[in-house]
Amino acid sequence: MRLRNVLLFTALIVLILGLCASQLVSLIHIPDDTTRLVYIVDGKNIKAELSADESTAVKDMFNGRWAVATGSKCFYSEDVSIRFGDQIFCVTTECC
């Protein structure tokens, strides 16, 4: 059940990134690092390290996709992010 929720959350993140972003910048390659989820919003402070199987599933969703950049930080924050080692993918909470 937890893996299913992580996969759904990640799919939603990928969709939001695609809808809100305006520019393709680079192809994503995630090395074999620890995967962590961070969600600090509205009094909730959730930080979770994924198991090896969950981490592999999430990395497979990101690898080979295009990373996007925005010129502003509107609605993006490290408080809502997926982290692979030192790579941080911030998730928008709304479209700009």
Sequential DSSP letters for 17-81: HHHH---EEEE----S--EEEEEEETTEEEEEEPPHHHHHHHHHHHTTSEEE--SS-TTEEEEEE
CA 11 to chain centre: 9
Tokens linked to 76: 């993006």
pLDDT, one tens digit per residue, over 84-94 is 888 888 877 66
Phi, psi of 82 (to 5 degrees): -115, 135
Phi, psi of 51 (to 5 degrees): -70, 170
The pTM (predicted TM-score) of the whole model is: 0.61
Phi, psi of 15 (to 5 degrees): -65, -45
pLDDT, one tens digit per residue, over 17-65 is 654 444 445 678 787 778 898 988 888 898 999 898 888 888 888 888 8
CA-CA distance, 34 to 41, in Å (whole number)? 23
Nearest alpha carbon to residue 89 among 64, 62, 71: 62
